[in-house]
């Protein structure tokens, strides 16, 4: 029996929920911890070839390659030139793919890359600000290297406000390029054998973003290309569409008429798969003695390589009555930036949170109270107060700044706030099926980045039908199933969860309609709980789940759900606090504790939500303390192309993390949480460093040499 009508109006009372708004272990947890979860990198197919890419190690160069020599390597099946990234034979960014091979073994593919005997005629390049803005700078684009100028506000009016302020801070804040550092690199396995269909196994944030491009390359109708995303090892905004390795893998498979496995090496990942754009921000801000911000002048330079970069502008979150901001992109011959978890927001946060902190210090005011005076929303007030309570601000001796006499180990506390949209959109189609034997499936083509999507695709249905989560089989990651959104901007949950709820509600209504006649009940009086369907008014009218399903027709019940706008919300806040310890002799900075307070409307899975919050805090900490792409400007070479050289936070770097879901947010709607929790962490840590020892570092990361230099200058 198929059902297409009847939709839920609300999620229902929180106090009646068994599974939602509770801690639910991930349904794929056992697969992952046992190593049985199959990622794209794990795919092995009969007759499969191994694809490899040769990327140019220089920003601008004209390569010469020996294709015949590479083709002669034993086991090599295909050698292809890659020319779509060249301009008149020249590369225009570091890491441009210039050739690809497919071979019987990974070793043979490596030998083929070496046999290409690559030689490079080096050109002129610009890989940093100074090189890009020099009068004779080599052009990244024909229009020039300084582009996308945006202006907001009246500079004269803002400067006029600053002239009358009791305190003014003028400073420049710099953030480096950050790699996404996904544990599973970009890539696909293309199962195409020269016939009339293909299957693409992809590590992607969008199951439905790949088929059209792959079909065009392979010369197939789009409905003959199936995309599978069983599990994927991280994306953070970098994995949308077929992408460079996917396009090349399709070309190799088409030429070889055989499956091709092509996953980027870590070095190629770092210079071919995008990054978080760097930023330099000039900030001149002023406030009066009462702690109210009055004016701001900001100039923002975005470093997105061959792309424009990201920054939402200034002032960020805080209320400034009169402001002026101009933003521009400084283009360089480096890999283009891509979306990365809250694109542009961590950069904006670092500048505004630092200048707010500096103003509070210059006025001798409590930085927590200063923030609250300049944030209109009471949500921020309660969240900052909660973060302050958990971090121990009331008992902290340095509320107005670092002590006059520094101890050998100084402790400081800092704060920051965040915002994000996190809304849903009408794309998703979910099918819930109940069969005669009592089995239940919940099906949609969505991918799960590891954030817990697979779990709530099951748990929402289980909640609606009164079953344990284990009784519902979630089927996801297959383009033959119902449509879903790509996972970016924290839109997956608010887009998909309402459709799952809609499908589950329709399936339950259809089941009750079938059973009401058998039980002699009004369908409105039926309930499903703990594996039993019963009449709330006549307790003797009841059936266990399997008995109830056995009464169905052989076709069972199938219901399709779609997006229900009233079940999804938009707009979140967040506040974070950091406590650090600084060794004032060696300059060692250790983060002792991080507190994250986040509103999210109705949490579908509190355990997964806290996990997302923890992950965002760790990613921000890593950005603040360690991460920085390093390119030699004269040699044009990337100097930290792997995890041995590119430092990310490890186990010993991670402090106590207290992730608090703001339950005072009583919105009966679901929202995404992936983005906001990554925004203010590095800002709070930098502010805590100053609070501990008086060292203000305005350029991330907060490395020991900068701290020692700052301590020496005190």
Does the pLDDT at position 3 exceed 90? no
CATH 3.90.420.10 for domain 40-124+186-263 = no
pLDDT at position 2, please? Answer: 57
Distance of CA 98 to the CA centre of its chain: 29
Quickly list DSSP for 364-398: T--HHHHHHHT---HHHHHHHHHHHHHHT-TT-S-
Topology (CATH level 3) of domain 2-14+424-567: Aldehyde Oxidoreductase; domain 4 (3.30.365)
- Whether 537 shows a pLDDT value over 60: the answer reads yes
| SS3 call for 167 | strand
**Which of 6-20, 339-353, 520-534 bottoms out in mean pLDDT, i.e. has the lowest?**
6-20
State the average pLDDT over residues 635-656.
Answer: 97
Euclidean distance between CA atoms 312 and 300, whole angstroms: 10
**What is the 3 state secondary structure string of 108-138?**
HHHHHHHHCCCEEEECCCCCCHHHHHCCCCC
Q: How confident is the model at residue 295 (pLDDT cuts 50, 70, 90)?
A: very high
- Return the exposure string of 640-678: e unless at least 16 CB atoms fall within 10 Å of the residue's CB, then b: bbeeeebbbbeeeeebebbbbbbeebeeebbbbbbbbbb
| Dihedral sign (CA 134, 298, 344, 623) | positive
pLDDT at 8: 87
Partners of residue 295 on adjacent β-strands: 286, 322
Residues ≥6 apart with Cβ < 8 Å to 16: none
Whether 1 has a pLDDT exceeding 70, the answer reads no
Q: Both tokens of residue 420? A: 């994000």
468-489 per-position pLDDT tens digit: 999 999 999 999 999 999 999 9
What integer pLDDT is reported at residue 9 of this predicted model?
A: 85
pLDDT for residue 496 = 98
* Distance separating alpha carbons of residues 92 and 124, to the nearest angstrom: 10
How far is the C-alpha of 99 from the C-alpha of 118, rounded, in Å?
A: 10
Phi, psi of 40, deg, nearest 5: -55, -40
Instruction: List the Cα angle 303/207/82 in 5-degree steps.
Output: 55
Return the biggest CA–CA distance within the chain.
88
Percent of the chain with pLDDT over 90: 98
Q: Tokens 């103003």: give the residue.
A: 359
Please answer whether residues 303 and 309 qualify as being in contact, where contact means their C-beta atoms are separated by less than 8 angstroms.
yes
pLDDT tens-digit map of 4-16: 557 888 999 999 9
pTM confidence score: 0.97
User: Residue 580 forms beta bridges with which residues?
Assistant: 412, 591
Question: Mean pLDDT over residues 500-516, rounded?
Answer: 97
Q: Are 669 and 20 in contact (CB under 8 A)?
A: no
Contact residues for 291 (Cβ-Cβ < 8 A; gap 6+): 360, 363, 365, 369, 370, 373, 374
Task: State the Cα torsion 685-690-693-697 to the nearest 10°.
Answer: 90
In the chain, what are the domain boundaries? 2-14+424-567, 40-124+186-263, 341-349+361-422+569-713
Mean pLDDT of 362-390: 98
Does residue 422 surpass a pLDDT of 90? no
Question: Does the CA dihedral 22-25-27-32 come out positive or negative?
Answer: positive
The DSSP code for 501 is H
Cα separation, 248 vs 264, whole angstroms: 11
Indicate if 341-349+361-422+569-713 has the same CATH topology as 2-14+424-567. Answer: yes
Are the C-beta atoms of 328 and 365 separated by less than 8 Å? no
> What is the per-residue pLDDT across 69-123, written as a single tens digit (0 to 9) for each?
999 999 999 999 999 999 999 999 999 999 999 999 999 999 999 999 999 999 9
What is the enclosing helix (H) or strand (E) of 509? helix 492-519
- What's the pLDDT score for residue 395? 97
Mean pLDDT of all residues in the chain?
A: 97
**Angle, vertex CA 533, rays to CA 528 and CA 535, nearest 5:** 100
* Average confidence (pLDDT) over 115-140: 97
- Scanning the structure block, which residue is given the tokens 């065009």? 216
The per-residue pLDDT for range 601-611, each reduced to its tens digit, is 999 999 999 99
- For the segment(s) 341-349+361-422+569-713, the CATH number from 2.30.30.40, 3.40.50.620, 3.30.365.10, 3.30.750.24 is 3.30.365.10
pLDDT for 7 equals 80
Stretch (H or E) spanning 594: strand 589-598
């Amino acid at each position: 029996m198929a059902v297409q009508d009847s939709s839920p109006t609300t999620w229902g009372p929180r106090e009646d929920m068994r599974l939602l708004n509770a801690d639910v272990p991930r349904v794929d947890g056992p697969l992952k911890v046992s190593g049985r979860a199959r990622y794209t990198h794990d795919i092995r197919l009969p007759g499969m070839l191994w694809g490899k890419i040769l990327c140019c190690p220089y920003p601008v160069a004209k390569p010469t390659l020996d294709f015949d020599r590479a083709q002669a390597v034993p086991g090599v099946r295909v050698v292809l030139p890659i020319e779509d990234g060249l301009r008149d034979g020249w590369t225009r960014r570091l890491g441009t793919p210039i050739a690809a091979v497919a071979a019987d073994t990974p070793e043979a593919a490596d030998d083929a890359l070496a046999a290409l005997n690559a030689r490079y005629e080096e050109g002129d390049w610009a890989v940093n600000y100074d090189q890009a803005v020099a009068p004779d700078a080599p052009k990244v684009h024909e229009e020039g290297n300084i582009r996308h100028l945006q202006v907001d506000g009246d500079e004269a009016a803002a400067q006029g406000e600053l002239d009358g302020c009791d305190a003014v801070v003028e400073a420049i804040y710099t953030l480096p390029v950050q790699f996404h550092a996904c544990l599973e690199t970009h890539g696909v396995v293309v199962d195409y054998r020269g016939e009339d269909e293909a299957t693409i196994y992809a590590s992607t944030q969008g199951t439905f973003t790949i088929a059209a491009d792959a079909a065009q390359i392979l010369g197939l109708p789009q409905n003959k290309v199936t995309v599978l995303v069983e599990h994927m090892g991280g994306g953070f905004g970098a994995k949308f569409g077929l992408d460079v390795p996917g396009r090349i893998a399709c070309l190799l498979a088409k030429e070889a008429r055989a499956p091709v496995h092509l996953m980027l090496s870590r070095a190629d990942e770092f210079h071919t798969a995008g990054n978080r754009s760097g930023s330099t921000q000039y900030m001149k801000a002023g406030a009066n003695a009462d702690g109210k911000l009055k004016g701001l002048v900001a100039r923002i330079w975005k470093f997105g390589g061959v792309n424009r970069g990201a920054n939402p502008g200034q002032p960020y979150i805080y209320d400034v009555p009169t402001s002026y901001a101009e933003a521009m992109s400084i283009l360089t011959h480096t890999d283009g930036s891509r979306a990365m978890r809250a694109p542009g927001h961590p950069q904006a946060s670092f500048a505004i949170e630092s200048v707010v902190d500096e103003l509070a210090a210059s006025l001798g005011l409590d930085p927590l109270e200063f923030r609250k005076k300049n944030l209109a929303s009471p949500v921020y007030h309660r969240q900052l107060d909660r973060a302050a309570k958990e971090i121990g601000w009331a008992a902290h001796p340095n509320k107005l700044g670092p002590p006059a006499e520094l101890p050998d180990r100084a402790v400081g506390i800092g704060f920051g706030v965040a915002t994000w949209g996190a809304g849903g959109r009408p794309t998703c189609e979910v099918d819930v099926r109940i069969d005669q034997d009592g089995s239940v499936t919940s099906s949609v083509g969505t991918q799960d980045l590891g954030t817990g999507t697979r779990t709530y695709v099951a748990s929402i249905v289980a909640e609606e039908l009164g079953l344990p989560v284990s009784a519902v089989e979630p089927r996801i990651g297959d383009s033959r199933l119902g449509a879903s959104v790509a996972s970016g901007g924290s839109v997956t949950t608010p887009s998909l969860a309402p459709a799952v709820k809609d499908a589950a509600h329709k399936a339950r209504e259809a089941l009750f309609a079938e059973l009401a006649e058998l039980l002699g009940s009004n369908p409105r009086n039926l309930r499903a709980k703990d594996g039993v369907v019963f009449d709330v008014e006549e307790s003797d009218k009841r059936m266990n789940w399997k008995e109830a399903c056995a009464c169905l027709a052989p076709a069972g019940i199938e219901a399709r759900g779609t997006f229900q706008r009233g079940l999804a919300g938009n707009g979140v806040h967040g506040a974070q606090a950091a406590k650090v310890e600084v060794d004032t002799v060696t300059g060692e900075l250790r983060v002792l504790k991080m507190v994250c307070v986040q509103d999210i409307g109705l949490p579908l899975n509190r355990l997964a939500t806290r996990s997302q919050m923890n992950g965002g805090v760790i990613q921000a900490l890593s950005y603040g303390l360690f991460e920085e792409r390093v390119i030699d400007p004269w040699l044009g070479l990337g100097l930290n192309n792997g995890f041995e050289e590119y430092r990310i936070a490890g186990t010993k770097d991670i402090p106590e993390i207290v992730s608090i879901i703001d339950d005072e947010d009583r919105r009966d709607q679901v929202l995404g949480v992936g983005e906001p929790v990554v925004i203010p962490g590095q800002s709070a840590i930098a502010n805590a460093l100053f609070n501990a020892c008086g060292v203000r570092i305005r350029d991330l990361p907060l490395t020991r040499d900068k701290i020692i230099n700052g301590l020496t200058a005190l």
